[in-house]
Structure formats: C-alpha cells, structure tokens
Amino acid sequence: MVVLDTDIVIDFWRGYAPASAWLATLQTEEIVLPGFVAMELIQGCKSKSDQEKVVRLLEMFNLIWLEPEECDKALTLFKEFHLSQGLDLLDALIGQTALSLKQSLHTFNRKHYAAIPELLLVQPYKK
C-alpha cells in the first residue's frame, strides 16, 4: 500500500513527468489517499471547472478515512505539537492516517510532518 500526500497528487495532476513515471511503476500496489488529502485538493480549487477536474482525478484513487479512535490520536498529536512545532490540523489528520495504516507517507513536505513521532516519510522521486 502506498499512501500519498497532497503534493504528490498535485505533481501528478500538473503532469510533472517524474511523478507520472513513478506512479506508473506502482502497477500492482494499492495507492490510497487520506480523505483529508481529497479535501485539501478541493479546497485549492478556484473555480467549479477546477473542482470538477479534481473530482475526476480523485476517482483514480482509493480514499481512506480515520476511525473515531484514530481521530482522537490525531487530536492528541495536534494538541501536543500545534503550538510548539506548528503542526497544521490537516497535516495531523493526514499523518495519523498513515500511522493508522502502519504505512509511510509519500511526500516532499517533510517540514509539515516533522513533529509527528514514528511517522516515516518517503520522497518518491527527484524534484
């Protein structure tokens, strides 16, 4: 299973060749997005047309949502690291999703997730 962060999906959507090539190598892997990544992508839309394109893009991926007890863990992370290390709300939820799946998070946003203990981050291609 491969868990993607928002930046990886954006690279793919924009046609960034290394992102597309890397995703093509994952033919047998299950690729999942935390549901909060989908929400972040929709939040970034500036028009209905953009949103429709993002919704079509999201159909390519399986969305994973946190169970209530995992949301409680994300809240604990957020309370502990929001003020001291600047952990963002959605990053706490996305990071906890990867932790709950016992998977690495594929991202280039190392700084966003640096506060989350035990979260393994993977930069999947060269930028």
Model pLDDT, residue 95: 98
Residue 127 lies in a domain: no
CA dist., res. 58 & res. 36, Å (int):
12
Per-residue pLDDT reduced to its tens digit, 10-26 = 999 999 999 999 999 99
Dihedral sign for Cα atoms in the order 45, 50, 51, 54: negative
Quick check: is 27 in a domain?
yes
Domain extent at residue 26 = 2-122
Q: Is residue 82 part of a domain?
A: yes
The pLDDT assigned to 27 comes to 85
pTM (two decimals): 0.94
- pLDDT tens digits, 44-56: 999 999 999 999 9
What CATH code is carried by the domain that includes residue 49? 3.40.50.1010
**Burial letters for 88-97: b for 16+ Cβ neighbours within 10 Å, e otherwise?**
bebbbbbbbb
Give tens-digit pLDDT for 29-72: 999 999 999 999 999 999 999 999 999 999 999 999 999 999 99
